[in-house]
């Protein structure tokens, strides 16, 4: 039997009221992660209070290679007496974690009956024997078309259904004796009855065939079976108006002022990489994890616009991992321990699932200026830009009008979202609204950057050349065609005519980064035309009082080469 690497590891942890949490089994090998941390994550706070629970946590967030990140999907159960709690987990890179829940549940039942490593071995073999060879590989655009379509037969032609799904040995034997006029129609009707938003396969475990439906419309930042609608409903006030809160004002979070809808405040926090905690004291850890995963989808535009949210996600964590958590900038974490709420220095935004309130930490600094990430530097401008339409040309007349437009923008968007939820629109439709919103924001941010760069270029003495880019080529590229190198030096010569142009040109060559040394390489080029142009450029720079000082700071090797070649010309 051929095994695929759907699941990397199977883990088994136990909690004993006398000994505490411990990791008992790791199959097929050890994960390399600290066993104490693993056992604590597998047995979350309050697990002993529930007959069963289900949660998700991530491994290797601090590993530079994102391909090494693994997602752990687990089931834990408590016997009736509550003296011992066991948890079984799988480690996988798949996003569709929920498909493993039925087989994990069966394996847990088996392990309670017979607590041996053989249970983990058979589970490992079963999940990795799942056949995905016929699952279609959609491109990004194909996936978006399928995602937005209600047609169950979309991309039907890309599916190769296994003959065994339709062929029955009993029917085959009957056809040898009788003429069956309906068999072809029956086979085709079964095929047409499938929903092509999913790929249907099975996991065979201990003689039981478990049907599996794998979603085919999942985007990169969407992990697990979460609900954006539930996230919105939880943190939306009961009233239709948002008179504000006691939270301290912060320009990255409540751009329209105190009228910012809580979900928009959360979205702004995600876009500006704030540290976010979802607190669910008394809630199952799996429920808390789903809020974290929904927030990751929200901020990323449902995986179609931005990346990196799941790399900073800790769907479930506890106090034993707080040091690692605080090392991760802009984390999005789920916790059940109320201690986190008291330590306001640990987080910037706290979302309390029990109360439905989002709190801004009093320790969150107001960072002035325009430095930092694109999101933080252009949020105010982009949010204003979202309000632009032919009927809104006068929003700059007064500050009050400007603020009102921004309030209207967010309020109208959220009102549209809430109306759609009230009209029972599906999860995909609500996600699409946030996908469109984040896409518009990023495009406006990009437009702002282009306009800002253009305004700088208008005040520049060198209008038709990206000096920084050309110098970077000479610094970093190992092999550049001679024609391109020659064109670069000619462009430098054509744009260093006036004194102001020379000064601007030299500003791209800071002396603490080597000064003219990237250009000095041209003095040694094998092509005589390039050597000639490099020499001409250096002689022109030397005629400037500032440029002559750059020449004097050349390395001794380059300086001698320049002086010798200049002497030959003279």
- Of residues 542, 534, 521, 523, the one with CA closest to residue 486: 534
SS3 32: coil
**Which token pair is 292?**
């974290």
Statement: the pTM of the whole predicted model exceeds 0.75: no
Domain count, the chain: 3
Phi, psi of 360, rounded to the nearest 5 degrees: -95, 130
Say yes or no: 442 and 561 in one domain. no
| 217 in any annotated domain | no
Contact by Cβ (8 Å): 314, 61 = yes
Say yes or no: 228 and 361 in one domain. yes
**Which token pair is 255?**
């751009």
Contact by Cβ (8 Å): 11, 91 = yes
Contact by Cβ (8 Å): 74, 44 = no
Contact by Cβ (8 Å): 524, 477 = no
Q: Containing H/E element for 409?
A: helix 399-422
| 134 in any annotated domain | no
Q: Give the model's pLDDT for residue 340.
A: 94
Q: Give the model's pLDDT for residue 202.
A: 94
Say yes or no: 20 and 96 in one domain. yes
Q: Would you call the peptide bond into 28 cis, given omega within 30 degrees of 0 as the criterion? A: yes
Say yes or no: 552 and 504 in one domain. yes
Q: CA-CA-CA-CA torsion for 425, 426, 430, 436, nearest 10 degrees?
A: -100
| 449 in any annotated domain | yes
Say yes or no: 480 and 445 in one domain. no
The CATH number for 452's domain is: 3.40.50
Span 141-184, pLDDT tens digits: 888 888 888 888 888 888 876 555 444 444 455 444 445 554 44
**Which token pair is 97?**
């974690």
Give bridge partners of residue 75 from the DSSP assignment: 54, 88
Q: Containing H/E element for 140?
A: helix 140-147
How far, in Å, are 197, 529, 563, 570 from residue 536 at the CA level?
65, 11, 12, 12
Span 49-73, pLDDT tens digits: 777 778 888 876 554 444 444 566 5
DSSP annotation of 4 reads P
Say yes or no: 234 and 352 in one domain. yes
Helices in 43-116 by DSSP H: which ranges? 101-113
In this prediction, the residues of the chain whose per-residue pLDDT falls under 70 are: 1-3, 47-48, 60-84, 161-193, 239-249, 255-258, 366-408, 452-458
DSSP code string of 312-328: GEESS--GGGHHHHHHS
Say yes or no: 103 and 20 in one domain. yes
| Whole-angstrom distance, CA of residue 6 vs CA of residue 127 | 7
Q: In what order do the strands lie in the sheet with 52-59?
A: 20-27, 7-16, 84-92, 70-77, 52-59
**Which token pair is 542?**
């030397």
What is the CA angle 266-270-276, rounded to 5?
A: 75
| Whole-angstrom distance, CA of residue 450 vs CA of residue 276 | 31
Which runs of E-coded beta strand occur in 267-369? 276-279, 313-314, 332-335, 349-352, 357-360
| Whole-angstrom distance, CA of residue 196 vs CA of residue 190 | 12
Give the helix, strand, coil percentages of the chain, each rounded to 5: 50, 15, 40
Which runs of E-coded beta strand occur in 100-226? 198-205, 208-215
Which three-class secondary structure string do you get for 364-401?
Answer: CCCCCCCCCCHHHHHHHHHHHHCCCCCCCCCCCCCHHH
| Whole-angstrom distance, CA of residue 47 vs CA of residue 91 | 20
Say yes or no: 291 and 424 in one domain. yes
Say yes or no: 414 and 501 in one domain. no
| 341 in any annotated domain | yes
Say yes or no: 415 and 545 in one domain. no
Phi, psi of 169, rounded to the nearest 5 degrees: -55, -35
Spell out a b/e string for 62-89, using b for 16 or more CB atoms within 10 Å of the CB, else e. eeeeeeebbbbbbbbbbeeeeeebbbbb
How many CB atoms are located within 10 Å of the residue 209 CB?
9
**Block residue for tokens 């034993």:** 320
| 151 in any annotated domain | no
Q: Give the model's pLDDT for residue 341.
A: 93
| 262 in any annotated domain | yes
Q: CA-CA-CA-CA torsion for 182, 186, 188, 191, nearest 10 degrees?
A: -170
| Whole-angstrom distance, CA of residue 239 vs CA of residue 216 | 38
Contact by Cβ (8 Å): 278, 334 = yes
**Which token pair is 129?**
């024997």
| 384 in any annotated domain | no
Contacts of 105 (CB under 8 A, 6+ apart): 75
Q: Give the model's pLDDT for residue 387.
A: 34
**Which token pair is 119?**
């249970």
Contacts of 433 (CB under 8 A, 6+ apart): 413, 416, 417, 420
Which residues span the domain enclosing 451?
A: 224-241+249-365+410-459
Say yes or no: 426 and 492 in one domain. no
**Helices vs. strands in the chain: H and E counts, helices first:** 21, 12
| 422 in any annotated domain | yes
CA 174 to chain centre: 54
Say yes or no: 433 and 480 in one domain. no
């Amino acid at each position: 039997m051929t095994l695929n690497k759907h699941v990397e590891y199977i883990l088994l942890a136990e909690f004993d009221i006398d000994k505490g949490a411990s990791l008992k089994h790791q199959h097929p090998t050890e994960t390399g992660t600290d066993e104490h941390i693993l056992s604590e994550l597998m047995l979350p706070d309050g697990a002993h209070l529930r007959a069963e629970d289900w949660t998700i946590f991530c491994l290797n967030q601090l590993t530079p290679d994102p391909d090494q990140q693994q997602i752990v999907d687990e089931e834990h159960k408590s016997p009736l007496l509550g003296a011992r709690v066991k948890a079984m987990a799988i480690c996988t890179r798949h996003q569709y974690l929920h498909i493993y829940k039925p087989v994990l549940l069966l394996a847990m039942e088996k392990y309670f009956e017979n607590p041996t490593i053989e249970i983990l071995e058979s589970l490992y073999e079963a999940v990795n024997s799942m056949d995905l060879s016929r699952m279609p590989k959609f491109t990004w655009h194909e996936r978006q078309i399928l995602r937005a379509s209600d047609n169950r037969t979309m991309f039907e032609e890309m599916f190769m259904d296994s003959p065994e799904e339709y062929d029955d040995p009993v029917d085959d034997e009957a056809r040898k004796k009788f003429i069956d006029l309906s068999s072809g129609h029956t086979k085709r009707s079964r095929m047409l009855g499938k929903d092509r938003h999913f790929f249907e396969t099975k996991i065979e475990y201990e003689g039981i065939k478990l049907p599996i439906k794998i979603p085919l419309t999942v985007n990169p930042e969407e992990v697990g079976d979460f609900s954006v609608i539930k996230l919105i409903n939880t943190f939306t006030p009961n009233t239709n108006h948002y008179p504000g809160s006691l939270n301290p004002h912060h320009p990255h979070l409540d751009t329209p002022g105190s009228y910012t809808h809580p979900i928009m405040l959360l979205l702004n926090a995600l876009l500006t990489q704030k540290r976010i905690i979802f607190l669910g004291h008394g809630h199952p850890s799996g429920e808390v994890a789903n809020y974290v995963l929904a927030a990751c989808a929200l901020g990323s535009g449902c995986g179609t616009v931005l990346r990196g949210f799941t790399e900073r996600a800790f769907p479930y964590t506890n106090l034993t991992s707080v040091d690692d958590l605080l090392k991760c900038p802009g984390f999005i974490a789920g916790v059940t321990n109320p201690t986190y709420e008291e330590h306001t220095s640990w987080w910037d935004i706290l979302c309390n699932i029990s109360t439905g309130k989002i709190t801004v930490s009093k320790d969150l600094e107001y960072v002035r200026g325009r430095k930092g990430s694109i999101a933080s530097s252009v949020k105010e401008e982009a949010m204003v830009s979202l309000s632009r339409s032919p009927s809104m040309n006068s929003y700059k007349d007064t500050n009050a009008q400007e603020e009102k437009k921004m309030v209207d923008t967010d309020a109208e968007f959220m009102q549209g979202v809430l109306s759609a939820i009230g009209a029972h629109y599906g999860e995909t439709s609500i996600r699409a609204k946030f996908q469109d919103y984040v896409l518009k924001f990023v495009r406006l941010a990009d437009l702002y950057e282009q306009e800002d760069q253009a305004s700088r270029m208008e005040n520049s003495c060198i209008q038709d050349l990206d000096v920084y880019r050309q110098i970077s080529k000479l610094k970093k590229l190992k092999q550049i065609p001679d024609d391109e190198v020659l064109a670069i030096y000619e462009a430098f010569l054509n744009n260093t005519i006036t004194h102001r142009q020379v000064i601007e040109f030299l500003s791209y060559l800071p002396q603490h980064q080597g000064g003219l040394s990237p250009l000095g390489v041209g003095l040694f080029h094998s092509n005589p035309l390039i050597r000639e142009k490099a020499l001409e450029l250096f002689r022109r720079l030397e005629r400037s009082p500032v440029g002559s000082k750059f020449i004097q700071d050349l390395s001794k090797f380059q300086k001698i080469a320049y002086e010798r070649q200049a002497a030959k010309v003279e």
